[in-house]
Chains A and B, each alone.
Chain A
Amino acid sequence: MTNHWVDLKNADVVWVMGGNPAEAHPCGFKWVIEAKKQRKAKLIVVDPRFNRTAAVADIYAPIRPGTNIAFFGGVINYLLSKDKIHHEYVKHYTNAAFLIDPGYGFADGIFSGYDEAKRSYGSKDTWKYQMGADGFAKIDETLQDPNCVFQLMKQHYARYTPEMVSKVCGTPQDAFLKICELVASTAAANRTLSYLYALGLTEHSNGSQNIRCAAMIQLLLGNMGMAGGGINALRGHANVQGITDMCLYAQVLPGYLSAPTDADKDHETYLGKRTPKTLRPNQMNFPQNFPKWFTSLAKAWYGNAATKDNGFAYDYFPKLGGASDALSIFNDMYLGKMQGFICQGFNPLASLPNKKKVGDALAKLKYMVVIDPLATDTSEFWKPHGEFNEVDPTKIETEVFRLPANLFAETAGSITNSGRVVLWRWKAAEGPGESKDDTEIIAALFLRLKAMYAAEGGAFPEPLRDLTWTYTQPAKPSPEELLKEINGKALADVVDPKDPTKVLVKAGEQLPGFAMLRDDGSTSCGNWIYCGTWSQAGNNTARRDNSDPSGLGQTLNWGFAWPANRRIIYNRASADLQGKPWDPSRTLMKWTGTVWGGNDVPDMRPNAAPEEGVMPFIMAPEGVARLFSRELMTDAPFPEHYEPFESPLDANPMHPGNARAKSNPVARVYKGDMEAFGASKDFPYVGTTYRLTEHFHYWTKFSKINAIVQPEQFVEIGEELAKEKGIKAGDKVKVRSNRGFVKAVAVVTKRIKALDVDGRKVHTIGIPIHFGFKGATKPGFMSNTLTPFVGDANTQTPEFKAFLVNIEKI
C-alpha cells in the first residue's frame, strides 16, 4: 500500500477491482464503510462476481476474468479524451512531458523490439527517453511533442473506446461510463480516489501491467501521495509485507536490494549497475544510495569477514543463474533437477498451479523438510487420501521431515501489515508438545551444519564459518536481538559528511535511520528500510500511542512504518509545486518556509525548498512518476490488453489478425505446460478462483469454528448456465480443466451473469480455493487441480484468475 488501512476513510471514491476486501480483509474494509458514512464516499466494485464487497457498493459492474487492462485502457481513454485529468500534477509530477525515442512504436499488438524466437523484447532501446546533451532526459512542458509520453499515451489508448471495452470485457457500456464519470470526478484537486486491489489483479499473465494501469489512472487524477488516495495492494498474509521486505525470494536481498547475478562478476560491476544515474536536474534519485545499503547488509551478515578488500564478502552472496521463482523451482523439481526442498509455513501442493504437477515434482525429491504448525496437505503429498490424492506411497522415495513450529500466539516478534506498519507482538502461551519457534529450528539446522563443516570440511564452508551469530543463546536467537540486528548499528563513529568533527552516532549505538548508513563498512544494517525500528530509543515497533491529532488516522506513534515511519509514501505530491496542499482539509505535507512539515514524515529532503524543483517521486531517477515505464518492464512500456492463456475467444478482439498478440507475447511457458492448456471448444467456460470470507487460504480449514461456517468445497455458477446444464443448487458437479477435475457442490446464483463478449455468450464459473484433504472441513478436491502453470511475464505470479473449464452434473 502506498497509503494505509485507516487512510481509506479519507477517500471520496473507493474503487475495488481485482480484490474483494469485504471478504478477504473485512477489518480493513471498515474504513471504506467509514468513508461512506462520514464522507459520503461512493464505492465502485468491478468483478466477475457480485461478491460481498459488491453487496455494499454504490456501483457494481461485471467483467470477464482476465480483461482488466481493456477496462483500465477505456478509463484512461475517457480521462484523456474528455480532459478529466489533474493538469498541474500530470505535467510536473509524472513523466508525461518526457520525450521518448523516435524509434518507439506499437503495431498490431506488439511493441518495437520484439524477438519472436526468444518470446521477449530483446532490445528495449526504443523504449528509452531521448537524452539531451546535458546528460538529462529531454522534456516538452507543453506536452505537444508527438514523441512525448502524454501524446503517445493518448494515441495508444484511443483504441480503448467504450464500445471496445464492452466488446472485450462484457461490461455493459452504461455501467462502464457511469464508473468513468465517478472516477473522473476525482481529478479535482480536493477529491481523491483510493484504488484497492489484491490477487484479482496480480494473478494474471499480465498482472504487473494491470497494476501499472491503476497507478497510471491515479497519476492522471493526481491521487498519488494524497490522503485518501494511492494504490493500495491489500495483500494476503499477516506478514506478507514483512517477508517481502526481508526478501525471501531469489531476485533481491533484504530491503529490495537487487541480488547479484552471473552478469555481476565482481563487486564493482554489481554496485555500478545498481546505482542509477539521475535523469533530471536536482532530483534526489534516492536509489543512488545502494552501495550504503548493500555494504551495511554485508557487514550485518559477515561482520569482520566483510572488508573493503574482499568487496564486503561479495563472493559469499550466491549469484542468480536464471529464473528462480515458485513456478521455475517446481518446474526444475519436476524435471528432477532438485535434491532437497525446505517448505516453511507454505502449502504448495494447494497453492501452486496444477496440483498434479506439483505432487509429481515433490515425489522426485530426495528429501523434504516441512516446518509448519499444522499437518499440511503438502506434508502428506505421498499419502493416499481417496480420490482427493491418488498416489502410491511405495513408489515415492522422498524422505519427508515434519517439524512442529509455533504459531503467532506462542512466539514474540514483529510483523508488518500491508500499510507497512511494523508491529510487535508478545508471546501468550507455550506451543503444543515439542514445537519450537521458526528461529530455533533455523538456528538448530545452522549450528549443526556449521559444526559438520568445521569438523569435516566440504564445499565452500567459509560463509557458514563467518556468518555473524552473536546471539546470547546461539541456539535460541531472541527476536529482540534479531530486530536490533535488522535495524543496524554504528560499527565506528558515524560522522556528518559536511562536518567530520560532528559525530552523529557513536560506535556501538543503534542507528536512528537509514540516512546514517555508510558504504565504508562503518555501519551494519540487516535491512535498510527497517532502519529506525530499534533505535537508541528502544523498540519502536512496540510503541502503542494511538493518538491521532490530525484526525486523518496517521497515528505516527503507533508502531513504526517503513520507510522512516512514513505513513503515506509520495506524500510530497499532496502539495503543489509551491508546497501548498492540494486539499488543505487533508494536509499531509506543506512547505513551512524552512522545512517540510505536516501530518506525516516528509517523503522529501526536509529542507528542499520548492524553488529547488525537487520532485516528489524520490525513488525514481527522474524524480517523477512514470506513466511510460521505459525499459523497466519486460512486456510493455504502456499496458496493453492480451487475452489470458486460456481464453474463451479465438483471438484478441483488439488484434484479431495477429495470433502472436493473442496472449502476453513474452510470458514464460514451460514445455509441456503449453500442451496442457485447454481449448475453448472442449472447455467453453471461464474458471476463476478466489477466497471466501469464512476462510483464510489453506489454514482455517484446520480450525473447527471456520469449518462450521463454511464446511465444504463448492463452485458458483450463474442461473442461466445452471439451467442449460440442468444443475440445481446443492447438486454435485464435476468441473474439469485440461489438467484435472474437481467435484464440488453447486451454488446457483444470480450474482454471476453470462456476459456478452465479442458477439458470444461467456459464462464464468467461480471456484473457491480453501479446501483440501486435510483439516476440519469436509475432505475435498484442491481447486489448483484445475489451474494452468503459467505466470505473469514480470513476476511469474500464476494465472489463477482466468482459465478454461467445463462443468457437468454428477
Chain B
Amino acid sequence: MKVTRRQFFKVCSAGLGGSSIAMMGFSPTAALAEVRTFKLARATETRNICPYCSVSCGVLIYTTGDRSKNTPGEIIHIEGDPDNPVNRGTLCPKGAGLRDMVQSKDRLKWPEVREAGSNEWKRISWNEAIERIAKHMKADRDKNFVAQNKDGVTVNRWPTLGALASSAASNEAGYLTVKFLRALGVTQLDTQARI
C-alpha cells in the first residue's frame, strides 16, 4: 500500500480511534469462513448458442430477475450448456468470455450517420435513418436498374448496389435478407463464407 502523507494522518487518527474503541471492548468479531455465495442462485437461465465459430456450442445465459414486467434482465454470466452433445458444457476462450462481447463498450446503441466529408458521427432516429437510406436506394435503383441486357434478354438486375451478408445472423435473418435483396434485383451479393 502506498500511503500519502494525508492518508498517513488519516491512518493515525483512525488508528487511534479504532484502538481506543477496541480497548473499551468493542473489538469486531472476525468474520467466519464462508465461501462466496453461488452467484447464479435464482438467476434466469436461457438456452442459446455461441455466435463465434461453427462448432455452435450450446450456452446458458444467466440474467438477473425473473422476466417480470419491470425488471429487464441483465446478463450476469454465460457458460456452456451441458446438454448440447457437441460441447457438453465446455467452452473455448472466446465462448467463455461471451459476456464481455455482449457488454462491449463498442456496442452500437442507436442509428448514426456520417455525412460526406464529415469527421464525426451524428446520432439520428430510426425513422430518419430508414428514410434516408431508402431514398438513396430508390434513387440509385431507379437510375441504374438494368431490365434487359444488350442482347435484349430480360435480366432485371440492380448492379450498382453491393451487399455483404453476415455469417453470424440467424438462418431466418439470412433468409429474409436474401429474399429482400433478390426482390430488389441485387446480384452483387456475397457472404462472409467465401472469405
Contact = CB atoms under 8 A, between A and B. Distances in A.
Interface in B117-134: 117-119, 121, 126, 129-134
A425 B53 contact: no
B171 A429 contact: no
B118 A393 contact: yes
Contacts of B75: 409, 428-429
Interface string A483-495: 1011000000000
A693 B93 contact: yes
A239 B169 CA distance: 7
B83 interface: yes
Nearest to B170: A413
Contacts of A435: 107-109
Contact of B195 (A5, A428, A797): A797
B113 interface: yes
Nearest to B189: A250
Contacts of B181: 248, 342
A290 interface: no
Contact of B172 (A235, A375, A483): A483
Interface string A423-466: 10111111011111111001111101100110010111001100
Contacts of A395: 117
B149 to A, nearest CB: 5
B46 interface: yes
A4 B133 CA distance: 42
B85 A797 contact: no
Interface in A357-390: 366-367, 369, 371-375, 382-384
Interface in A642-700: 693-696, 699-700
Contacts of A438: 166, 169-170, 173, 176-177
A249 B169 contact: no
A338 B104 contact: no
Interface string B145-158: 11101010111111
Nearest to A5: B86
A325 B112 contact: no
A504 interface: no
Contact of A6 (B85, B141, B184, B191): B85
Contacts of A253: 178, 182
Given A250-B188, A317-B182, A435-B109, A239 B94 contact: no
B48 A426 contact: yes
Interface string B85-124: 1111011111111111110111111111111111101000
Interface residues of B, number: 122
Which of A238, A439, A486 gathers the greatest number of chain B CB atoms within 10 Å? Answer: A238
B11 interface: no
Contacts of A516: none
A28 B86 contact: yes
B194 A408 contact: no
B160 to A, nearest CB: 4
Contacts of A695: 94
B34 interface: no
Nearest to A467: B183
A324 B183 contact: no
Contact of B63 (A351, A374, A429, A448): A429
A321 interface: yes
Contacts of A372: 108
Contacts of A341: 161-164
A427 B170 CA distance: 12
B8 interface: no
Which of B85, B112, B137, B171 gathers the greatest number of chain A CB atoms within 10 Å? Answer: B171
B47 interface: yes
Contacts of A24: 53
A462 to B, nearest CB: 9
A373 B161 CA distance: 22
Contact of B49 (A31, A324, A408): A408
A338 B161 contact: yes
Nearest to A348: B164
Nearest to B117: A394
B50 A408 contact: yes
A437 B173 contact: yes
Interface string A390-405: 0001111111111111
A344 B177 contact: yes
Contacts of A407: 51, 101-102, 107
Nearest to B161: A340
Interface string A747-774: 0000000000000000000000000001
A428 B61 contact: yes
B179 A25 contact: no
A422 interface: yes
Contact of B175 (A415, A417, A425, A486): A486
A352 B44 CA distance: 40
A383 B111 CA distance: 18
Contact of B114 (A240, A400, A483, A485): A400
Given A319-B157, A703-B104, A367 B86 contact: no
B67 to A, nearest CB: 10
Interface string A540-569: 000010101000010100100000000000
A702 B101 contact: yes
A544 B112 contact: no
A26 to B, nearest CB: 4
A434 B111 contact: yes
A428 B136 contact: no
A461 B17 CA distance: 83
B137 A427 contact: no
A436 B138 CA distance: 23
A638 interface: no
Contacts of B143: 339
B157 A482 contact: no
Contacts of B190: 248-250, 324-326, 329
B104 A374 contact: yes
Interface in A606-631: none
Interface stretch (A108-116, A221-229, A704-712): A704-712
Interface in B3-22: none
Interface in A580-638: none
A398 B117 CA distance: 8
Contact of A318 (B56, B134, B171, B182): B182
A367 B48 CA distance: 35
Given A253-B182, A416-B171, A448-B134, A408 B48 contact: yes
A318 B173 contact: no
Which of A434, A443, A703, A796 gathers the greatest number of chain B CB atoms within 10 Å? Answer: A703
Given A239-B54, A326-B194, A411-B170, A321 B108 contact: no
Given A31-B86, A321-B187, 17 more contacts: A6-B85, A28-B53, A234-B54, A337-B160, A338-B188, A393-B119, A404-B108, A409-B48, A413-B171, A416-B171, A418-B56, A448-B134, A486-B175, A555-B85, A703-B104, A774-B106, A795-B194
The 7 nearest A-B residue pairs measured at CB:
A345-B166, A433-B109, A413-B170, A417-B56, A705-B97, A404-B108, A237-B167
17 contacts: A237-B193, A238-B50, A248-B190, A320-B157, A321-B146, A321-B149, A342-B164, A345-B168, A394-B119, A408-B49, A408-B168, A413-B173, A427-B48, A428-B44, A452-B134, A483-B172, A699-B52
